[in-house]
Amino acid sequence: MTTVEKPHYKVLGTRPIRHDGLDKVLGRAVYGADIKLAGLSIGAVLRSPHAHARIQSIDASAALALPGVYAVVTGADMPIADDELIDMTEEIVNARFASMRIIAHEKALFKGQPVAAVAAVDLNTAQEACRRIKVDYEPLPAVFTVEEAMAADAPIIHEHLVGTHVGEKVPHTNVAEHTQHVLGDPDAAMAKAEVTVEGEFRLARVHQGYIEPQNATAMWYRDGKATVWTSTQGSFPARNAISSVLRMPVSAIKVVPLEIGGGFGGKINIYLEPLAVLLSKKAGRPVKVVMDRRSVFEATGPGPGGVVRMKLGADKAGNLVAGTVDIRFAAGAFPGSSISAASTCVFASYRFPTARIDAYDVVTNLTKTAAYRAPGSPQATFATESLMDELAHKLGVDPVALRLQNASKEGDRRPDGIVFPRIGNVEVLEAVRDSDHYRTPLDRAGAAPGHKRGRGVATGYWQGVGNKSTVTLAVNNDGTVALIEGNTDIGGTRASIAMQAAEVLGIPALDVHPTVVDTDSVGYTDLTAGSRTTYATGAAAVKAAEQVVAELKRRAAIMWEVEATDVDFAGGVFTNKKAKDTKLTFKQVCARLDRTGGHVATTGVVNLRGSGGGSFATHVVDVDVDTETGKVEVIRYTAAQDAGTAVHPSYVEGQMAGGAVQGIGWALNEEYYLGPDGSVQNASFLDYRMPTMLDTPNIETLIVEVPNTMHPFGVRGIGESGIVPPQPAIANAMRAALGIRFPELPIKPGRILEALDAQGA
């Protein structure tokens, strides 16, 4: 662990057991599919078999005549949502498009789009009712790639969509948005560059890999209010989205977040919640809907694929002088493909005196994409880090040394205009350079006959976000503290937030009891996403804990008959400054609360605008390639990342290793494999090939701690940067092993064998 000016902490940096661990290990935790209510009915969804088709008519009479069917809803039952924007933290969603994604209105725009939903006595009855619904479709031409969608003669998916081209409105287009960032004169600088590298890089759509499918249970009440139980990464943003889509006031909707079986960005958007509410309203009873796995693949949001074209220029000494990039992401059937984040991250790791970033958000006839861990950054950075590796080869220099030479630092300006605060980019690169892995020569001679080995390195960035969080603390007279928060726990955030409160209060982490509650029980809190939870909600917990300390100082002063300013507090102990041998522990003061004014409860509210300080990660990987079969084995892997201050090092290491493993899958195997009609051909975990423990080595982790100046304890969000470097690091290792640059992901055996054949190997 590399540390920069880290103070001594009592709780932070320790590894207590997680507060929710026992319930999850014993199977007592309640997930979305576990919810049971009196009179519960089961829902099913009828989905479009066409990627693009006009809906001429829907006849549900045969379904409604089936015994045990309580209700059927179609697009006609969905209120027409306004063109208002919903802030989902990692994505800005248009309410009208969100409504159309949830259930088709006049057209089906992707295969698997809901066209009707049924509530019935059981799942079999609901599914049979769906089969009896008659839909008359008029099939229309469809487009599935950015090239097809941007062609001059392309069928227009949304006739009324008006795109934005660098600020100007453009009607009748499939390009929802074209943004541009320009720093200096990159064309002039590129013309003077002594060394240039360029390439076109292609990326497939990839699934987040969460095990639990999307789900929703809803109860509509006669007073016009509704309660929704769901597995979501953000109960308040989900409430806002349901409100906008159904045109209900937020005060009429209560969202109860259940435990979540993985998300990685894929459970930010709403899919089933409004359908469950509408079905419950019609049926007069609660309705639960759970997706099957094929529907998860076909109708929820994967990370976007697309094309990235890039050129880098440098002088003979290896100093970058210019960078230009053209990013084109396929958003799916509705706008919003994380091009903004891609633009933020693509050149963030380096100092560019001049640069130009063009980014295109393109609609296609596939399911709308969603956030996937550092959304947009892995795709864009794959190009950057591949070309930085090519630049190192051209210059004949060490790839880490070249990155260190050009690494962005505090005070440097990103091409999108933001000036970096204190960051740990250089320290992370130095940690890899000095690691045992990087200093140990690769054992090429140990490769089996027909196998070749290579080593690759890559770095990556995620800016993180802050936004709004609320935490309430209630002090018990036994010296424990109840912590109420609104962030669903995906990666151990109950522990990381409780630990920050405990650090302020000077008590053990397990004396703080965290509970995640519904939207009626705590103040507004943004998503568990964007690497914001430990950072922002932790800051709210610190604020609430500081208020507790201030109040308990006043209580101790009452007992000692002094002023509150005469009381010191440190390490869980109150001291009378007028009689320094007079002390009371935190528990002792709490035991006398009833005698000094009653119970103590405080609330911390924060709105941390802009970036969360950002986190850099650098990975080094060794691969072994079987040139006869194209099989790639990852034989050693080291991940370094700046955590600011590692609140719970075990969870930090887990996030780093998890990001590396997901990135390995993305690099080598994972992709949405589409048929000519836009159908997903590998819509199951048997066919969508994610890494298992047999496919990955032990991930060695190096935690770097460069404190974040925007957080009271120096915390940085670390959940996302770790998925950015693996893909280019593996591509660079393949380049070192075979002498071949692979510009398309995944680098699967077929592509490797084709490249070897083309090389004449």
- For 484-529, the pLDDT digits (tens) are 999 999 989 999 999 999 999 999 999 999 999 999 999 999 999 9
pLDDT tens-place string over residues 58-116? 999 999 999 999 999 999 999 987 777 777 666 777 888 999 999 999 999 999 999 99
**189 φ, ψ (degrees, to nearest 5):** -65, -40
Residues in the chain, total: 761
What string of DSSP letters covers 306-370?
Answer: EEEEEEEEE-TTS-EEEEEEEEEEEEESSS--SHHHHHHHTTTTB--SSEEEEEEEEE-SSPPP-
Give the C-alpha separation, 527 to 548, whole Å.
Answer: 26
Instruction: Please tell me the number of Cα atoms within 13 Å of 114 on its side-chain side.
Output: 30
Secondary structure of the chain: what % helix, strand, coil (to 5)? 30, 30, 40
pLDDT at 310 over 70: yes
* 598-618: average pLDDT: 95
Q: Alpha carbon 139 to chain centroid distance?
A: 35
Q: Residue 90 corresponds to which tokens in the numbers above?
A: 């990692």
What string of DSSP letters covers 223-247?
Answer: TS-EEEEE--S-HHHHHHHHHHHHT
Between CA 371 and CA 376, with CA 373 as vertex, the angle to 5 degrees is: 65
Which residues have CB under 8 Å from 5's CB, separation 6+? Answer: 707
Q: Alpha carbon 670 to chain centroid distance?
A: 17
229 beta partners = 217, 256
Helices 273-283 and 235-246, interaxial angle, to 10°? 60
What pLDDT, on the 0 to 100 scale, is given for residue 218? 98
What pLDDT, on the 0 to 100 scale, is given for residue 230? 98
- Whether 289 and 216 have beta carbons less than 8 Å apart is answered as yes
Q: Residue 138 corresponds to which tokens in the numbers above?
A: 């008029």
- Whether 531 and 715 have beta carbons less than 8 Å apart is answered as no
Give the CA distances from residue 522 to residues 111, 310, 516, 667, in Å, rounded to whole numbers and listed in that order.
Answer: 39, 46, 9, 41
* 330-334: average pLDDT: 98
Helices 399-406 and 425-433, interaxial angle, to 10°? 160
pLDDT-based confidence at residue 242 (cuts at 50, 70, 90): very high
Weakest mean pLDDT among 77-81, 375-379, 390-394, 431-435: 77-81
The answer for 92, left when phi > 0, alpha when psi is -120 to 50, beta otherwise, is beta
Where does residue 47 rank: exposed (0-12), middle (13-18), buried (19+ CB within 10 A)? buried
- Whether 492 and 18 have beta carbons less than 8 Å apart is answered as yes
